[in-house]
């Protein structure tokens, strides 16, 4: 019986790096949690325990910290691409690198009527994400960037209906033409290029489109809202070929107050935490480019 090593990757997960730019009294902060992973033929390490081709995960972590100063963190995407190319240049046995980056935003605290120069607060509004996959080097290099947002918690208190659904003998759900719709959204979008993009601006605009569409689409289902959000993003950005969503339907059930002789006209809800509907969808161009390794090891998607 022949046995061999199959797909594998190794690296340092969740290196939390905070870079303070303090060249002027008005400081800037980038706060990233970075996962690095190298893949390739590492059978010597796995089968025989030979570490000759293994760039330690400790070194990978050190590189993240040092690059925060050497290269700077202009955007998660730029930082991820720089790290991936560096690791592929160093580790000859690696044929691919994946860098996963989550960024939290620090907003300036308002003090004495102005934005403070060096005091910050986290306001929520989602975690910015990027997954960079680079395969090969030189002529053969192929780079893929999937940017995104997660933990974007949104709710609309009307403008959402759900009715006309398929029924069988187990169906008890009442149709509704006015319900609360809420989710903690994950969205990830795949670029068809890594050149000529303003990563930060594009992120801000995509996020604004997602929020605006969530608010303005009169919804007949979360599925329809997600599709409309995705369509709007693809219409605005030719550089984005597909967008994937994962959206837990955070159910808000009307509480029956009639035992207490109290009316409840869509005013008091029980916000259930589980179980929840989980709606996942991809919106994609007809002529989308080959994703290659873009979605390699990207968690939780159809
Ligand atoms: O937006 C919704 N989509 C569904 O598929 C679904 N199923 C369900 O019970 N409630 C909802 N809501």
ipTM rounded to 2 decimals: 0.98
Alpha-carbon distance 158 to 44, whole Å? 59
In a domain, 128, yes or no: yes
Number of domains forming the structure of the chain: 2
Beta-carbon contacts of 138 under 8 Å, excluding residues fewer than 6 positions away, are none
**Does residue 251 share a domain with residue 117?**
no
Over residues 23-61, the pLDDT tens digits come to: 999 999 999 999 999 999 999 999 999 999 999 999 999
Q: What is the mean pLDDT of residues 233-242?
A: 98
Q: Please state, rounded to an integer, the average pLDDT across all residues of the chain.
A: 97
> Is the pLDDT at 245 greater than 80, yes or no?
yes
Q: What is the mean pLDDT of residues 182-201?
A: 98
**Does residue 209 share a domain with residue 76?**
no
Question: 116, 140, 164 — which closes off a domain?
Answer: 140
Alpha-carbon distance 122 to 113, whole Å? 19
In a domain, 2, yes or no: no
**Does residue 265 share a domain with residue 189?**
yes
Q: What is the pLDDT of residue 21?
A: 98
**Does residue 186 share a domain with residue 82?**
no
Would you say the CB of residue 222 lies under 6 angstroms from ligand 1? yes
Confidence category of residue 224, pLDDT binned at 50, 70, 90: very high
**Does residue 130 share a domain with residue 221?**
no
Over residues 9-28, the pLDDT tens digits come to: 999 999 999 999 999 999 99
Alpha-carbon distance 226 to 207, whole Å? 13
Q: What is the pLDDT of residue 253?
A: 97
Give the three-state DSSP class for 275. coil
Over residues 84-101, the pLDDT tens digits come to: 999 999 999 999 999 999
Beta strand extents in the chain (DSSP E only): 9-10, 15-21, 28-40, 94-104, 106-111, 114-122, 127-135, 142-156, 181-191, 240-249, 252-254, 269-271, 277-284
In a domain, 59, yes or no: yes
Domain that holds residue 84: 7-140
**Does residue 93 share a domain with residue 170?**
no
Give the percent of the chain with pLDDT over 90.
Answer: 97
Question: 87, 120, 140 — which closes off a domain?
Answer: 140
Give the percent of the chain with pLDDT over 70.
Answer: 99
Would you say the CB of residue 191 lies under 6 angstroms from ligand 1? no
Alpha-carbon distance 10 to 2, whole Å? 24
**Does residue 242 share a domain with residue 135?**
no
Q: Best substitution site from 166, 180, 277 to test ligand 1's pocket, by max atoms within 8 Å of Cβ?
A: 277
**Does residue 240 share a domain with residue 287?**
yes
Instruction: Name the DSSP class of 46.
Output: I
Q: What is the mean pLDDT of residues 71-83?
A: 98
Alpha-carbon distance 131 to 126, whole Å? 16
**Does residue 168 share a domain with residue 88?**
no
Give yes or no for a cis peptide into 139 (omega within 30° of 0): no
Q: Report the nearest atom of ligand 1 relative to the CA of 181.
A: 1
Q: How far is the CA of 192 from the centre of ligand 1 (A)?
A: 32
Alpha-carbon distance 47 to 25, whole Å? 54
Would you say the CB of residue 272 lies under 6 angstroms from ligand 1? no
Q: What is the pLDDT of residue 300?
A: 59
**Phi, psi angles (nearest 5°) of residue 155:** -150, 140
Active-site option among 27, 46, 57, 116 = 57
User: What residue owns the CA closest to ligand 1's atom 12?
Assistant: 221
**Does residue 107 share a domain with residue 13?**
yes
Can you give the pTM of this predicted structure? 0.97
251 is catalytic: yes
Tokens of 27: 């400081």
Question: What's 154's domain CATH number?
Answer: 3.10.270.10
Question: 105, 140, 175 — which closes off a domain?
Answer: 140
In a domain, 145, yes or no: no
Would you say the CB of residue 277 lies under 6 angstroms from ligand 1? yes
Q: How far is the CA of 169 from the centre of ligand 1 (A)?
A: 17
**Does residue 277 share a domain with residue 230?**
yes
């Amino acid at each position: 019986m022949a046995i061999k090593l199959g797909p594998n990757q190794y690296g340092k997960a969740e290196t939390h790096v905070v870079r303070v730019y303090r060249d002027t009294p008005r400081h800037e902060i980038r706060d990233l949690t970075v996962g690095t992973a190298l893949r390739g033929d590492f059978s010597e390490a796995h089968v025989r325990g030979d570490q000759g081709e293994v760039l330690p995960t400790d070194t990978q972590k050190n590189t993240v910290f040092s690059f925060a100063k050497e290269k700077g963190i202009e955007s998660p995407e730029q930082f991820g691409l720089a790290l991936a190319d560096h690791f592929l240049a160093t580790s000859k046995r690696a044929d691919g690198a994946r860098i996963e980056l989550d960024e939290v935003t620090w907003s300036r605290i308002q003090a004495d009527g102005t934005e403070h120069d060096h005091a910050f607060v986290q306001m929520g509004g989602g975690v910015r994400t990027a997954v960079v996959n680079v395969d090969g080097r030189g002529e053969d290099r192929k780079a893929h960037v999937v940017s995104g947002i997660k933990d974007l918690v949104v709710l609309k208190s009307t403008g959402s209906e759900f009715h006309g659904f398929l029924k069988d003998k187990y169906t008890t759900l009442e149709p509704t033409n006015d319900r609360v719709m809420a989710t903690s959204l994950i969205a990830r979008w795949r670029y068809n290029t890594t050149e000529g993009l303003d990563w930060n601006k594009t992120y801000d605009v995509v996020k604004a489109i997602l929020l605006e569409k969530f608010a303005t689409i009169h919804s007949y289902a979360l599925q329809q809202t997600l599709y409309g959000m995705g369509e709007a993003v693809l219409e605005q950005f030719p550089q984005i070929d597909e967008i994937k969503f994962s959206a837990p339907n955070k159910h808000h059930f009307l509480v029956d107050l009639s035992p207490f002789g109290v009316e409840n006209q869509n005013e008091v809800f029980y916000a259930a935490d589980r179980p929840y509907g989980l709606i996942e969808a991809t919106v994609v161009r007809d002529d989308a480019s080959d994703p290659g390794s873009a979605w390699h090891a990207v968690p939780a998607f159809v």
